[in-house]
Amino acid sequence: MSNNRNVTYPLPIKIVGVGRYLPGRIVPSSELEAKCGLPEGWCLRKQGVRERRWVGDETISFMGAEAAREAAADAGIKLTDIDLIITAAHSFEKAIPEDGPLIQQRLGLAGTGIPCLRVTAACVSFLAALDVSASLLASGRYRNILIVTTEITTGKLDFSNPAVCTLMGDASAAVVVVRTPPGEASGIHAVSMETYSEASDISSVSGGVGHSTLFRNDVLADDFVFDFDPQSVRAAGIKYNQKFLARLWPPANKDSFRLVIPNQASRLTIDFMKLSFPSDRVMSIIEQFGNCGAAGFPLAIYEAVKQGRISRGDMVLLEGMTAGFTLMGIVLTY
């Protein structure tokens, strides 16, 4: 199935600024291997993770604001030039209000009236926010959109499940996007999002067995534990992902990608993409940062820009899968 019917591409969107915030605490895999009773080198060998960042006293709004400041400075705009703040993640500081107003306040923008919007699609939340932003920019409603993705996963880890707890890291990343100026090539060329709810139980923060809602009087800390079955996730990815890329972008044009950025979920998801694309074109940051959920995409974009792995005019594929079970991909020119 295609999500591209009756859409005129490219959509005029340009990433003009990138920023990030990384918690100060670096957690080497050796520390978790000792804690979980794992053999030395297990995390790097099995998960592809050498180290990750975990929060100390940082909050989501603090991290998001720090990433936003860098992104605005990188874009060469003042914070007051931002006319929409989109938060895109599955972590949140408070149930209400969502993180946008909290970030707005930390940025010194309280009282400005800058609207705040939350876009949530689990690990592909950032991709969904890019898609939404492209349509809003094309309509002319906004000029400078700030997208902030912050994930703090370490407060929801079950250390009896090393396959999950050794993967996760905390991070925040942000981008500023604008409507592509006339004569420039930046834009989105294709978007596709597909959800197969028959596999919706393979990854979740469940809210507890038998509970109908997470917000209850008897809520427990254990109800917020993030859990997934790596083998089931891998099986679902193989089942649904193989033909998804062909529907998103014709196979004959795959060589046109300067860089492929998959969901930074595990070594296996990245290795899977290397079966279809040259390995030197597949971006991997999991060894240094672990699985940072939805923040993995903008964090990888940040690293790719700062390392010079992408330049203006390069075509990039962003593709990932997440709970739901949902697949999403975007083809864009940076």
Per-residue pLDDT tens over the stretch 36-80: 999 999 999 999 999 999 999 999 999 999 999 999 999 999 999
**CATH superfamily name and code, 14-178:** Thiolase/Chalcone synthase (3.40.47.10)
Per-residue pLDDT tens over the stretch 157-173: 888 888 889 999 999 99
Structure confidence at residue 7 (pLDDT) = 77
Per-residue pLDDT tens over the stretch 237-272: 667 776 888 889 886 677 889 999 999 988 888 988
Q: Are 227 and 164 in contact (CB under 8 A)?
A: yes
Rounded to 5°, angle at Cα 126 from 122 and 128 = 80
Q: What is the pTM of this model?
A: 0.89
Please state which of the four CATH numbers 3.40.640.10, 1.25.40.420, 3.40.47.10, 3.40.50.1820 is assigned to the domain occupying 187-333. Answer: 3.40.47.10
Domain borders along the chain are 14-178, 187-333
The Cα 70–Cα 42 span in angstroms is 35
Structure confidence at residue 218 (pLDDT) = 62
Per-residue pLDDT tens over the stretch 111-157: 999 999 999 998 999 999 999 999 999 999 999 999 999 999 887 78
- Cβ-proximal residues to 296 (8 Å cutoff; 6+ apart), any chain: 123, 171, 263, 264, 265, 285, 286, 289, 320
